Homo-oligomer: A and B are copies of this chain.
């Protein structure tokens, strides 16, 4: 096997190896540097956006309400999540789509047309 391991620098030169590697690395770095800069600036950009939007009372203008992120269950500890899940099992609307279907938990947030259709038979008109 050692015989085929003859390294030829000439091939590298012919194949534009070094400029190719440098170009490639430069572009990869520039892409990820830009991303790094963007995500570093993002929190401040969002703050400024909120300040711009705050005087205007139009609630739709802000991309999302400034939710209390600290209460986000996805970031709580597993133990808290387990407890939350337990409560969810007992409290959320539980409904069956068909005869042989597995039980699903449905949160109250609607998500477009498909989620709505199967439940139409059970729909509560006071909704």
Residues of A at under 8 Å CB distance from B? 73-75, 77-78, 81-82, 84-86, 88-89, 93-100, 102-105, 107, 109, 111, 121-122, 124
Assuming A78-B95, A78-B122, what are 16 further A-B pairs, CB within 8 angstroms?
A74-B96, A74-B97, A75-B121, A75-B122, A77-B122, A77-B124, A78-B93, A78-B94, A81-B95, A82-B93, A82-B94, A82-B95, A85-B94, A99-B109, A100-B109, A102-B104
Distance between A36 CB and nearest chain B CB, rounded to angstroms = 19
Q: For A102, list chain B residues within 8 Å (CB).
A: 104-105
- In contact, B103 and A88 (Cβ under 8 angstroms): yes
State the CA gap A77–B70 with chains docked (Å).
35
State the CA gap A102–B73 with chains docked (Å).
13
State the CA gap A73–B75 with chains docked (Å).
33
- In contact, B86 and A94 (Cβ under 8 angstroms): yes
Distance between A23 CB and nearest chain B CB, rounded to angstroms = 31
- Within the complex, which residue of B85, B98, B111 is in contact with A96, where a contact is CB–CB below 8 Å? B85
